[in-house]
Structure 1
């Protein structure tokens, strides 16, 4: 789905539509409607798209943006928000999450078919594993996006 289509659908399906969502994100309802329908020169800005996403809890814009860039999104669990820089504690968290991934995959694959709900649980567990890996890297110093010795992120 194109990011503008995702924004349009989010606004259209929000309770009360643009008239309700617009003021909540700092826009007149008509202005927001024009932005998501590309009426005239109106354009939806990134900050407004973020406010719409956070306020609505609807991640279609984010997911469409990521897909258009050849990426995907995963929800991050509270582990990144909890803080703490104890390397061994973060390593333990990551190993626990790894075992959770293994458990979900083996349980789901036991009957040689993975249902959509099983896939959803696996994706959630993999997201938590990735988050704990990022928390471990941050605990090592320099943050999760700090360059490595090879120069890459």
Structure 2
């Protein structure tokens, strides 16, 4: 498949096809949308904004997936994270981000000569352990931000 086929299939696989999707996208007619996704039409083209809107409305991300494949990239779904205004949480994640390179830097140093000594392995274990402690703290802070039904009733 390619990007044009993905756009065509997104429209035509949508329940009700272009007739149902075009009005939701703010297009005057299904014929316009059909023309924009027809790979053989030279005069009408789907804009990036329209493609994004189409994906949001249909929940069909084949266009994005094909663009990623064409450019040897990947997209992942981001997790739903509850809103939390905890400054300490923000501080923790920033510190991990800034210091998180320790594991990678240590690994790079360790592999510089193409072998791993017992001392290097021990140093790496300590670095990994420090990172695990930081991540456990972050996990705990994130869980503390989740509002439980009991908290909401109080």
Q: If the length of structure 1 is used for normalisation, what is the TM-score?
A: 0.54
Deviation at 1:82, TM superposition (A): 3.0
Report which of the two structures shows the higher radius of gyration computed on alpha carbons: 2
Q: How many residues align?
A: 94
What is the SS of the residue equivalent to 1:82? coil
Q: Work out whether 1:56 is the aligned partner of 2:58.
A: yes
Equivalent in the alignment of 2:13: 13
Equivalent in the alignment of 1:26: 26
1:103-142 correspondence runs (5 A):
none
Gaps of 5+ in 2: 98-134, 139-154
The CA distance in 2 between the partners of 1:29 and 1:82, in whole Å, is 39
User: Cα RMSD (Å) of the superposition?
Assistant: 2.8
Q: If the length of structure 2 is used for normalisation, what is the TM-score?
A: 0.53
Equivalent in the alignment of 1:82: 83
Q: 1:42 aligns with which of 26, 41, 44?
A: 44
Equivalent in the alignment of 2:128: none
The CA distance in 1 between the partners of 2:26 and 2:45, in whole Å, is 15
The CA distance in 2 between the partners of 1:31 and 1:75, in whole Å, is 31
The CA distance in 2 between the partners of 1:18 and 1:70, in whole Å, is 30
1:51-86 residue CA offsets vs partner (Å, 9 max, x unmatched): 10001111111111111111011000123x735452
What is the SS of the residue equivalent to 1:58? coil
Equivalent in the alignment of 2:74: 72
